[in-house]
Amino acid sequence: MDTIEKVTSGGEIDLSVELGPLKLKTPIIAASGTFGYGIEYEGLADFSAYGAIILKAVSLEPRRGNPPPRIVETPAGMLNCIGLENPGVEAFIKEKLPRAARLGVPLIANLVGERVKDYVRLAEILDGENALVALEINASCPNVEHGYSMFSTTPSAIEELVKEVRKATKKPLIVKLSPNVTDIVPLAKASLEAGGDILDLCNTFLGMSICIETGHSRLSRDYGGLSGRAIRPLALRIVHQAVSATNAPIIGTGGIYETSDAIEFFIAGARAVSLGTVQFIHPDQARKIVDELNAYLKTRGISLNQLIGSYRGPACVNHSDDLP
Give the residue numbers annotated as catalytic, written as ranges: 141
Q: Are 313 and 268 in contact (CB under 8 A)?
A: no
From CA 127, how far away is CA 295, in angstroms rounded?
Answer: 38
From CA 267, how far away is CA 296, in angstroms rounded?
Answer: 13
- The beta strands (E) that lie in 76-204 are given as 77-80, 107-111, 132-138, 173-176, 198-201
From CA 114, how far away is CA 213, in angstroms rounded?
Answer: 36
Residues in Cβ contact with 213 at an 8 Å cutoff, skipping those fewer than 6 apart: none
| Half-sphere exposure for 173 (CA within 13 Å, toward CB) | 27
Q: What share of the chain is helix, strand, coil (3-state, %, to 5)?
A: 35, 20, 45
User: CA-based Rg of the chain, rounded to a whole angstrom?
Assistant: 20
Residues in Cβ contact with 119 at an 8 Å cutoff, skipping those fewer than 6 apart: 111, 112, 113, 137, 161, 164, 165
Q: How far is CA 288 from CA 6, 41, 175, 250, in A?
A: 9, 16, 28, 22
Bridge-based pairing of strands 272-275 and 52-54 is: unpaired
Q: How far is CA 90 from CA 94, 127, 191, in A?
A: 6, 14, 28
DSSP string, 261-289: HHHHHHHHT-SEEEE-THHHH-TTHHHHH
28: part of which helix (H) or strand (E)? strand 28-30
